[in-house]
């Protein structure tokens, strides 16, 4: 059985031979044998030229199938061109689906929260996603096909790469510079994953935030345990004394009970402050916001401050009749912490000014004292939990070390900011805490019920 291609070839050969035979025969009859041979040669030459021309057209079209139009031909040429055309079309479709798949893969890899960097069998960089560019300071556009160890030079990484046992991820501290040339330290969890023929994927995840939170959690637990251990140890000591010799010594019993009460109160304050902080940090629960009668609130907090001072300070207030939109309990807690700090850290005879004013469109609460002030290096850390300049002084005056952390969280929830100015200059010492509320929180006083009735 002949194939369609062989059939087409035979048909053409037959056709050319027939035409050449007929034309050559007629020419031989008319002009003799040599004329007949000449005509046969002529027919063969025309046939050859025709097929050579078709071949040239095909060649031209194959050079750039997109630009040139498909040559028009029938018979065997038509079949050949048709087959070629279908092949090229198929090729184009598969090329497009390949490039679509590649661009989908690149989009997915670019959206990954982790860094992904592809290495060939020579440890050259084949490809990396934008997160990996950021983690390693490598640019896909400029650094492709460069050896990875040229950029990632940490000895631990080179050892990890060489050991060829990538079961466990590598914890790496890296330092990178931002656009402004500022160096930043971060912690990366790095894992090499072999794939394909001796290729590797280098995955990297920034775990700095996780580590920071873990350190914070550990410090917090250590701090709370430490804060609770002191009063508990003191109470245990007194209980032991009372149990052994207290009954026969009413005076000692009385003193011990007073000390134990002080320690119990200290623990109570600590637990209350911890609960307040955890409520403030819980962003899923936002308490209701309403207009607060701040002038009335400050007047009452100033009275509490006076009681805490017990006449040891002069407390002055300057209160504008401005109301504020917010949560009353939280604002009261922030203001009262600043007032009680001023009383507690200002020696007897000192002066404390409490003001509530409008500065431009912003409502501002300010507490200023002329105590001994705070050294500048402590100021940025004052709102950290349990940060104290003088631990003994804080505890002696009933401090928990959480007051300013509470203030900070209340302000975050009210989009307000805290400004701390302090001076230890002997001529003008003292501290000033100012809370600036955003203008949108200033609100009109609510009409009193009887005013509404009128
Ligand atoms: P504490 O319960 O120890 O007072 P805070 O968080 O309220 O904790 O304050 C943190 C530290 O800031 C205090 O221990 C104290 O050292 C310092 N501080 C706060 N307010 C004042 C102030 N008005 N004058 C001097 N130091 C202050």
Per-residue pLDDT of 237-259, as tens digits, reads 988 888 887 677 888 888 888 98
Whether pLDDT at 425 is above 80: yes
Question: In Å, how far from its chain's centre is CA 260?
Answer: 48
What is the Å distance from ligand 1's center to 388 Cα?
A: 6
Output the average pLDDT for the chain: 89
pTM: 0.67
What is the Å distance from ligand 1's center to 387 Cα?
A: 8
- CB 406 near ligand 1, within 6 Å: no
Mean pLDDT lowest for which of 26-30, 295-299, 323-327? 26-30
What is the Å distance from ligand 1's center to 153 Cα?
A: 46
Residues of the chain with pLDDT > 70, as a percent, come to 96
116 vs 251, residue with greater confidence:
116
Beta bridge partners of 172: 188
* 276 contacts: CB under 8 Å, gap ≥ 6: 333, 402, 406
Which protein residue has the closest C-alpha to ligand 1 atom 16? 389
Whether pLDDT at 273 is above 60: yes
- CB 342 near ligand 1, within 6 Å: yes
Give me the mean pLDDT over the 145-171 stretch.
Answer: 91
What is the Å distance from ligand 1's center to 341 Cα?
A: 6
Q: pLDDT band at 73, cuts 50/70/90?
A: low
Whether pLDDT at 452 is above 60: no
- CB 36 near ligand 1, within 6 Å: no
Q: Six-digit token pair at 137?
A: 């300071």
Mean pLDDT lowest for which of 229-238, 302-311, 357-366, 444-453? 444-453
Q: What is the pLDDT of residue 453?
A: 37
Q: What is the pLDDT of residue 58?
A: 80
Tens-place pLDDT, residues 314-341: 999 999 999 999 999 999 999 999 999 9
What is the Å distance from ligand 1's center to 289 Cα?
A: 28
What is the Å distance from ligand 1's center to 393 Cα?
A: 9
- CB 371 near ligand 1, within 6 Å: yes
Q: Is 31 helix (H, G, I), strand (E, B) or coil?
A: helix
What is the Å distance from ligand 1's center to 371 Cα?
A: 11
d(CA 131, CA 114) in angstroms, rounded, equals: 6
Whether pLDDT at 408 is above 70: yes
Question: In Å, how far from its chain's centre is CA 442?
Answer: 33
Q: Where are the beta strands (DSSP E) in 299-429?
A: 314-319, 323-326, 351-359, 362-369, 417-423
Q: Six-digit token pair at 145?
A: 């096909």
CA nearest to 39, candidates 18, 23, 50, 16: 23
CA nearest to 443, candidates 422, 401, 414, 418: 414
Which protein residue has the closest C-alpha to ligand 1 atom 24? 345
What is the Å distance from ligand 1's center to 346 Cα?
A: 11
Q: Ligand 1: which atom is nearest the Cα of residue 389?
A: 16
d(CA 385, CA 73) in angstroms, rounded, equals: 87
Backbone torsions φ then ψ of 419, nearest 5 degrees: -120, 125
CA nearest to 306, candidates 343, 278, 334: 343
Ligand 1 pocket, mutate which of 336, 371, 377, 388 (most atoms under 8 A from CB): 388
- CB 350 near ligand 1, within 6 Å: no
Give me the mean pLDDT over the 267-290 stretch.
Answer: 89
Q: What is the pLDDT of residue 163?
A: 86
């Amino acid at each position: 059985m002949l194939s369609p291609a062989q059939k087409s070839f035979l048909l053409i050969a037959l056709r050319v031979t027939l035409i050449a035979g007929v034309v050559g025969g007629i020419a031989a009859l008319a002009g003799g044998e040599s004329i007949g041979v000449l005509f046969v040669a002529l027919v063969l030459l025309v046939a050859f030229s025709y097929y050579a021309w078709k071949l040239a057209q095909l060649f031209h079209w194959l050079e750039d199938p997109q630009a040139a139009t498909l040559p028009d031909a029938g018979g065997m040429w038509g079949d050949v061109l048709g087959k070629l055309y279908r092949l090229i079309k198929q090729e184009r479709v598969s090329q497009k689906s390949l490039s679509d798949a590649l661009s989908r893969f690149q989009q997915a890899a670019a959206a990954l929260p982790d860094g992904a960097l592809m290495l060939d069998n020579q440890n050259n960089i084949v490809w990396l996603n934008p997160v990996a560019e950021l983690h390693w300071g490598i640019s896909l556009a400029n650094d492709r096909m460069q050896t990875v160890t040229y950029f990632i030079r940490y000895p631990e990484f080179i050892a990890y790469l060489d050991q060829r046992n990538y079961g466990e991820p590598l914890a790496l501290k890296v330092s990178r510079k931002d656009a402004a040339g500022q160096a930043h330290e971060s912690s990366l969890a790095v894992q090499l994953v072999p794939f394909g023929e001796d290729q590797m994927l280098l995955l990297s995840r920034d775990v700095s935030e996780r580590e920071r939170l873990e350190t914070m959690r550990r410090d917090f637990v250590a701090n709370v345990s430490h804060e609770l251990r002191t009063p508990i140890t003191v109470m245990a000591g007194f209980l032991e004394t009372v149990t052994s010799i207290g009954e026969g010594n009413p005076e000692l019993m009385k003193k011990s009970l007073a000390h134990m009460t002080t320690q119990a109160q200290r623990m109570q304050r600590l637990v209350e402050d911890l609960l307040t902080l955890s409520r403030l940090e819980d962003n899923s629960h936002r308490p209701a916001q309403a207009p607060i009668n701040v002038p009335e609130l400050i007047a009452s907090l100033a009275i509490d401050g006076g009681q805490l001072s017990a006449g040891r300070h002069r407390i002055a207030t300057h209160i504008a009749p401005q109301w504020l939109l917010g949560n009353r309990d939280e604002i009261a807690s922030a203001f009262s912490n600043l007032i009680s700090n001023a009383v507690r850290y200002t020696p007897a005879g000192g002066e404390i000014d409490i003001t509530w004013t409008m500065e431009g469109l912003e409502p501002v609460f300010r507490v200023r004292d002329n105590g001994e002030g705070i050294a500048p290096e402590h100021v940025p850390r004052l709102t950290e939990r349990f940060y104290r300049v003088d631990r003994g002084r804080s505890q002696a005056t009933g401090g928990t070390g959480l007051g300013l952390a509470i203030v900070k969280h209340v302000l975050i929830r009210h989009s307000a900011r805290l400004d701390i100015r302090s001076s230890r200059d002997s001529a003008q010492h003292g501290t000033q805490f100012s809370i600036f509320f955003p203008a949108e929180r200033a609100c009109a006083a609510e009409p009193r019920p009887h005013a509404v009735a009128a």
